[in-house]
Amino acid sequence: MVLIGAGLPILPGLVGESKSYAERLFSFPVVGALPESDANQALQDPVRAAHEEFAPDALAEIFRLTQGYPYFLQEWGYQAWNHAAASPISLQDVQKASDLVSRRLDENFFRVRFDRLTPREKLFLRAMAELGGGTCRTSDVADQLQIKVSAMGPLRAGLIRKGMIYSPSFGDIAFTVPLFDEFMGRAMPAL
């Protein structure tokens, strides 16, 4: 006996939209920063499954440090869990884990991206870091580098293409991931 479609109606549109295994395998959905409530849940649910939990001030500190960026949440949660001697995982556990997390992010996350950059791109990002971690104007970066803003276009476009920065509004730029400004200060102490 052969079952075709398990008794389900054939949906021609669905068949046309189906993707092969290879197409699904290499599909990378964009996951942006999580809101604080979702970040807290992402941290709390796995530890509660082990009958542990994070203290509220520890969750608040992890969110402040990570700005809800999922990979960073995972790293801070993992290291804080490893540093905690008892439940709840405390603010002090998070603080003790932070140096290790910073080193691990520098080595395994930031450095990989930094090493793909040209010397001029590194200078551009270092100048952005000098202006702080938030949104800045392309013209301010040009001033930092003492370059005409008109010469910044290709450099800026290349960094956007590489996923290092994005433009939240006309003339503005920002790092695509939190804490990259701090990494740039460590990687290139002087502009």
What domains sit in the chain, N to C, each tagged with a CATH number? 36-111 (1.10.8), 119-187 (1.10.10.10)
Average pLDDT (155-179) is: 94
Output the pLDDT for position 23: 53
In 3D space, the residue among 70, 98, 62, 64 whose CA is nearest the CA of residue 53 turns out to be 62
Average pLDDT (143-165) is: 94
Q: Say whether pLDDT at 136 is over 70.
A: yes
Lowest-confidence region among 9-13, 33-37, 39-43, 89-93: 9-13
pTM to 2 decimals? Answer: 0.76
CB distance 39 to 62 below 8 Å: yes
User: What pLDDT band is residue 119 in, cutting at 50, 70 and 90?
Assistant: very high
Please spell the DSSP secondary structure of 67-107, one letter per residue: TT-HHHHHHHHHHHHHH-SSSSBPHHHHHHHHHHHHHHHII
Output the pLDDT for position 30: 55
User: What pLDDT band is residue 133 in, cutting at 50, 70 and 90?
Assistant: confident
* Percent residues over pLDDT 90 in the chain: 79
pLDDT in tens, 64-91: 999 999 999 999 999 999 999 999 999 9
Average pLDDT (139-150) is: 94
Average pLDDT (157-177) is: 94
Sequence-distant (6+) residues with CB within 8 A of 66 are 39, 72, 73, 76, 178
